[in-house]
Amino acid sequence: MRMSSVYPLKFKPIYKERVWGGRQLHQLFERNFAGAHIGESWEVCSSPYGMSVVANGIWQGMTLAQLLHNYPQTIMGETFTSVQQFPLLVKFIDATAKLSIQVHPDDSYARTVEQGMGKEEGWYVVAAKPNAKIVYGLNEHITQQEFVAALQGDYLLDCLRFVAVNTGDMIYIPSGLVHAICEGIVVYEVQQNSDITYRIYDYDRVGMNGKARETQVDKALDVIKFGVSSTTEFHRSVINGSYFSMSKHQIDGALMEPDFGNLRIYCAVEGHGYMRYHTGEIALNPGDNLLVPAALPQVEFYGKLTLVKTTITGHSA
Ligand SMILES: [Zn+2]
């Protein structure tokens, strides 16, 4: 692969219908899609449940999996081998209605019980209605016994920490933390590339097929970390997870990104501008994601925009 032909990649979004979804991604990002209940837009993904396809340049039409197979080091950096899978899943979530109360396993539990990967998540709040809330952990001192009693007695919500969130907040969700996005929030989410969710409580809702959605309470009880108090500090500009980090950059003018040798994903969450790279430039509008391959030299941003930058910091073994 000649360096001069490497460029920032755009992907076609993959829309997912969800019982709690809506039309906010159309409202916010002027995107056109069918469906009244679009809950997720998968922006960068390589999994059996969704595969990103390049939307620009010479690699247009190729899947992310094909790119990683053909040009592993060009895209991912020197340490990546083509047998590894893409480690992240990047999406927007439109919680027009609230999501189920849930928890995700860590790598070791997921490997043993599910032959899969664990999941940590990082959220950037793109939009939040006044008084919008999330569930972030349990109220202090809730034991496993009390938790089970509350679930059986149908008063689980009394055990949960509901926390107000605002546009621009960044929230880290480690594995083992009970969490949920409540109604009226649009989130930009970066997570480990895993689809393992243990649903604990779903407000007695029925799914798109008219049947009650399944819960996985036993496994959830295995992985919830009881007895740890969950500190909440959302008004920050960096998330340092175990597998990735996310940072917020407010640009009014120009920003140089000399970062070279690592894959980066930039999301324009607000405002307008463009990215310049060694052989061209690409416009950035709200909701746009750009994957910058590891082999691409310095990039520069111009305009008035808020960017969220994601880099990979670790891999599941
Ligand atoms: Zn989750």
**pLDDT-derived band at 314, boundaries 50, 70, 90:** confident
Percent of the chain with pLDDT over 90: 81
Q: What is the domain range of residue 269? A: 244-312
139 lies in the same domain as 158: yes
Boundary-marking domain end, from 194, 211, 240? 240
CA torsion through residues 196, 29, 99, 179, sign: positive
What distance in angstroms lies between residue 141's CA and the mean position of ligand 1's atoms? 22
**pLDDT-derived band at 315, boundaries 50, 70, 90:** low
43 lies in the same domain as 147: yes
275 lies in the same domain as 229: no
Joined together, the tokens standing for residue 6 give 């490497």
Residue 79 belongs to some domain of the structure: no
Residue 78 belongs to some domain of the structure: no
User: Which pLDDT tens digit goes with each residue over 149-207?
Assistant: 999 999 999 999 999 999 999 999 999 999 999 999 999 999 999 889 999 999 888 88
What distance in angstroms lies between residue 110's CA and the mean position of ligand 1's atoms? 14
**pLDDT-derived band at 1, boundaries 50, 70, 90:** low
CA torsion through residues 200, 202, 204, 208, sign: negative
193 lies in the same domain as 47: yes
What distance in angstroms lies between residue 178's CA and the mean position of ligand 1's atoms? 8
Residue 152 belongs to some domain of the structure: yes
What distance in angstroms lies between residue 123's CA and the mean position of ligand 1's atoms? 10
CB atoms closer than 10 angstroms to residue 25: 23
Average pLDDT estimate for 46-51: 95
Over its C-alpha atoms, the chain yields an Rg (Å, rounded) of 20
- The pLDDT score that the predictor gives to residue 258 is 84
CATH of the domain at 294: 2.60.120.10
Boundary-marking domain end, from 240, 271, 302? 240
What distance in angstroms lies between residue 197's CA and the mean position of ligand 1's atoms? 7
Cα distance between residue 58 and residue 31, in whole Å: 24
Residue 83, pLDDT > 80, answer no
Average pLDDT estimate for 211-220: 90
291 lies in the same domain as 263: yes
235 lies in the same domain as 252: no
Residue 316, pLDDT > 80, answer no
Active site residue 199: yes
- The pLDDT score that the predictor gives to residue 214 is 86
User: Which pLDDT tens digit goes with each residue over 223-245?
Assistant: 999 987 767 777 789 999 989 99
209 lies in the same domain as 248: no
Boundary-marking domain end, from 240, 262, 290? 240
297 lies in the same domain as 189: no
Q: Give the active site residue among 18, 111, 161, 199.
A: 199
Residue 77 belongs to some domain of the structure: no
Cα distance between residue 76 and residue 194, in whole Å: 19
Phi-psi region of 204 (alpha: psi -120 to 50; beta: other; left: phi over 0): left
185 lies in the same domain as 260: no
